[in-house]
Amino acid sequence: MRLPGFGLRTDQFEYVVLILLAVVVGIFGALGNLGFRELIKFFSWLYRHVEWHALGIDRGGWFLAFVPVILLSGGLGMIVLNYIFPGDVFGYGFPGFLEMVNLGMARIKRSWIFVKAAGAALSLGSGASVGREGPIAQIGGAIGSAVAQFFALSPTRAKVLVAAGAGAGIATTFNSPIGGLMFAQEIVLLGHTELANLTLLIVATTSAVVTSHAILGGGAVFDVPRFVLRSYVELVTYGLLGCILGVLGASYITFFHATARWFRRLEVPEWARLGLGLLIVGLVAIPLPQNLSDGYPIINLVMAGEYGFGILVALTFAKIFASSVSLACGAPGGTFGPTFFIGTMAGGAFHRLSRLVIPGLTGPRGSYALIGLGAFLAAVTHAPLTALFLLFEMTHSYEVAVPAMVATITALVVSRAIETESMDTYSLAREGKTLEISQERLALTQIPVSAVMTKHVTYARENASLSDVLQIAGDTAQSTLPVVGADGELIGMIVTRELLALMVSGEDLGPLVNAYDLCKTDCPFVKPDSNLDVASQIIEHEGIDEVPVAEHAGGALLGLVTRMHIAQALNRVTVSLASLTTRDQGIFWATGYRVDRLEIPLGASGMTIRKLDPRARFGVTVLACQDGQDPDAGFVPITPDRVLKRGDLVIVAGRPTDIRRFARDLENVQLAEPAPEAQAPAEVKR
């Protein structure tokens, strides 16, 4: 199809629309980032200027004991925000964000645009040792999801726009469009993306950087010194730096999540856990105030060559401890900022030590701090391309390429040898989840349970006698029998094979035994908006063939999703994907023609293709038909005299305008004696 005035086919026009949406996401992602920065500045001024001076902390001495008060007052603001938006404020939320994008439907709450910004700004402004990049990515992702939902895009397209928004936020922060692209592709999309989608990502990140330049005139968060490589012999030293940072990165991942487990085990309210953690961070900041917030100004100083070996080592381990405690106790924020800080401090400390031990193989101070930043980022996130391109774009120097590659790859290899999971996938892996899933499972994650579940369920009432249960179980093909209460609520489930085993065991069940006594009251269930991958895992883990569908535990029984339903859905998706990938090998459609499917309306029920005569009247050819009452039978070639029924699907080929005319004609067909509708499904046995 060619659209008037554009000379584009439908697929080309749709891609142009996606590019325009990527531009919109990039612009709004940049604006969201800039707004977030201003919010951080405001709370930093409020807590660490106004309140700081009011408490006299700037005088030093014993007034430094009031530093924890600053963090606790920020914690009070976080508690209020969490009261308004429960469940969306506390803690390190980036792993959950990745799970929504890669295992969910890429639907991010629109409220996150404000909630994540406000929560992280409170946290950073009051001095919690967290990063801003994770919230920035979530803010941008929420913007991308909002645009995708507004235009009703498919989950696959929505996923790309969410990643584009996240990449736009990172690109704006570091003035790095390629770095933002690699962040979106390597970390958010886990490296799984089509070449066409890379175009959308780079359009979004470039639009974001251009927007930021137009408003602020450019500039990144770090004052990066000129990188100097005095001799290629120094590569040995950079390799050694990578080894050390690889060990440190794996240790940071382990310690971070161990701290999180310790705080989760505390049997205290969330607010008490938050207060305890912020108090500890405040106490650490009394001797080391440089450890407050994300420490970007301190990073700039170290890159400029400031601080000695002792203070750099102290700041390295203080940040590891304080950032782990901050995020574990519930302070909102990310780990990128602490990762940058730790890598820079460790790189600077390594330089000071290396100058004493091997002065002939050691270059300038700022160079090692800069490479340390990128290498430690790769060790913690397991995303080497993101680290490399951030370094390239921050330095604007090709001289950094080889040392950066040596240190970054070495750090990644050593870190993965010790800890196979990254900072963001560690907790998911411990929950039995993996973001590295097969294409089949990825397809299942895009299909909601409600799309395939059956509402015609054979079930038993809770007060049904044993004989009634046996009769119902014998009359159904289901291998499980849901048990419902008087109001239709799901109470439990009877597995028929276990019921038969109980019968042959010789145990005296007694005449008063009913369905409630026989069922498992703590039975598994799945929500209608969950995806089929979740349902599939429940079925496999529980060793059953069907799982009930309900909104919540004890909620009304809505239906049943079976192993067969999942297999059929996967087969249909697989066949559809295969047909898409091979569609141009057999037939190449001329410009202006397309294939579409139409559903037969009530008025056309009883008609035949011969009577409708679409080829002569509209220039449309009907290729195949699917029985609306038996969709699992698939599409079959249609004969001229086949009687069409309401709900049948037909595959038609022609010009889009002709297909639309044919569809309108079907809606307007009126028969003197319409064909009778198929008999409705029989009532469910209860």
Tokens of 501: 């085993």
Domains of the chain: 10-216 (1.10.3080.10), 232-268+287-430 (1.10.3080.10), 443-567 (3.10.580.10), 593-677 (3.30.70.1450)
Nearest to 629 by CA among 686, 583, 562, 675: 675
Is the model's pLDDT at 328 over the cut of 80?
Answer: yes
pLDDT at residue 674, rounded to an integer:
43
The dihedral built from the CA positions of residue 153, 155, 157 and 158, taken in this order, carries a sign that is: positive
Is the model's pLDDT at 31 over the cut of 90?
Answer: yes
pLDDT at residue 599, rounded to an integer:
86
- When mean pLDDT is compared across 203-212, 527-536, 573-582, the lowest value belongs to 573-582
Total Cβ atoms within 10 A of residue 265: 7
**Separation between Cα atoms, residue 358 and residue 343, nearest integer Å:** 21
Is the model's pLDDT at 682 over the cut of 80?
Answer: no
Is the model's pLDDT at 567 over the cut of 90?
Answer: no
pLDDT-above-90 percentage for the chain: 35
pLDDT at residue 510, rounded to an integer:
65
Tokens of 481: 């029998």
Is the model's pLDDT at 357 over the cut of 90?
Answer: no
The position carrying tokens 């700081």 is: 52
pLDDT-above-70 percentage for the chain: 86
**Separation between Cα atoms, residue 260 and residue 255, nearest integer Å:** 9
**Separation between Cα atoms, residue 494 and residue 92, nearest integer Å:** 40
What confidence tier does 680 reach under pLDDT thresholds 50, 70, 90?
very low
Question: In sequence order, which residues have a C-beta less than 8 Å from that of residue 77 and are 6 or more positions away?
Answer: 43, 122, 126
What confidence tier does 573 reach under pLDDT thresholds 50, 70, 90?
low
Is the model's pLDDT at 356 over the cut of 90?
Answer: no
Stated as kind and residue range, the H or E segment containing 202 is: helix 195-216
What confidence tier does 311 reach under pLDDT thresholds 50, 70, 90?
very high
Nearest to 215 by CA among 393, 37, 46: 37
CA angle in degrees (0–180, nearest 5) for 260-266-268: 125
The dihedral built from the CA positions of residue 329, 331, 333 and 338, taken in this order, carries a sign that is: negative
Q: What is the mean pLDDT of the chain?
A: 84
β-pair type (480-484, 460-461): parallel
Nearest to 143 by CA among 207, 66, 91: 207
User: In the beta sheet, which residues pair with residue 636?
Assistant: 625
* 3-class DSSP assignment, residue 465: strand
pLDDT at residue 432, rounded to an integer:
56
Stated as kind and residue range, the H or E segment containing 677 is: none
pLDDT at residue 541, rounded to an integer:
74
The dihedral built from the CA positions of residue 581, 585, 586 and 592, taken in this order, carries a sign that is: positive
**Separation between Cα atoms, residue 70 and residue 109, nearest integer Å:** 30
Is the model's pLDDT at 672 over the cut of 50?
Answer: no
* 3-class DSSP assignment, residue 460: strand
Question: Which pLDDT tens digit goes with each residue over 203-215?
Answer: 999 999 999 988 8
| pTM as predicted | 0.68
Is the model's pLDDT at 576 over the cut of 60?
Answer: no
Question: Which pLDDT tens digit goes with each residue over 405-420?
Answer: 999 999 999 999 999 8
Tokens of 228: 């100097």
- When mean pLDDT is compared across 35-39, 125-129, 393-397, the lowest value belongs to 393-397
Is the model's pLDDT at 119 over the cut of 90?
Answer: yes
The position carrying tokens 């449309």 is: 620
Residue of 249 and 98 predicted with greater confidence:
249
pLDDT at residue 143, rounded to an integer:
94
Residue of 230 and 45 predicted with greater confidence:
45
The position carrying tokens 């979004």 is: 204
Q: In the chain, what is the straight-line distance between the N-terminal and C-terminal CA atoms, in Å? A: 52
Question: Which pLDDT tens digit goes with each residue over 431-450?
Answer: 656 665 555 666 677 678 88
* 3-class DSSP assignment, residue 422: coil
**Separation between Cα atoms, residue 501 and residue 493, nearest integer Å:** 16
Alpha helices in 587-676 (DSSP H): 609-612, 614-618, 656-668
What confidence tier does 534 reach under pLDDT thresholds 50, 70, 90?
confident
pLDDT at residue 580, rounded to an integer:
45
Is the model's pLDDT at 361 over the cut of 70?
Answer: yes
**Separation between Cα atoms, residue 58 and residue 152, nearest integer Å:** 53
Alpha helices in 587-648 (DSSP H): 609-612, 614-618
Is the model's pLDDT at 656 over the cut of 80?
Answer: no
**Separation between Cα atoms, residue 165 and residue 180, nearest integer Å:** 10
- When mean pLDDT is compared across 108-112, 328-332, 577-581, 631-635, the lowest value belongs to 577-581
pLDDT at residue 587, rounded to an integer:
52
Stated as kind and residue range, the H or E segment containing 67 is: helix 67-84
pLDDT at residue 139, rounded to an integer:
94
Question: Which pLDDT tens digit goes with each residue over 69-91?
Answer: 999 999 999 999 999 998 888 98
Question: Which pLDDT tens digit goes with each residue over 446-492?
Answer: 678 888 888 888 888 888 888 888 888 888 888 888 999 888 889 88
Q: Exposed/middle/buried for 127, CB within 10 Å: 0-12, 13-18, 19+? A: buried
Stated as kind and residue range, the H or E segment containing 112 is: helix 112-126
Is the model's pLDDT at 592 over the cut of 90?
Answer: no
Stated as kind and residue range, the H or E segment containing 481 is: strand 480-484
What confidence tier does 616 reach under pLDDT thresholds 50, 70, 90?
confident
Question: Which pLDDT tens digit goes with each residue over 241-291?
Answer: 999 999 999 999 999 999 999 998 998 999 999 999 999 999 999 999 999
Mean pLDDT for the stretch of residues 285-313: 91
Question: Which pLDDT tens digit goes with each residue over 138-168?
Answer: 999 999 999 998 988 877 788 889 999 999 9
Total Cβ atoms within 10 A of residue 154: 11
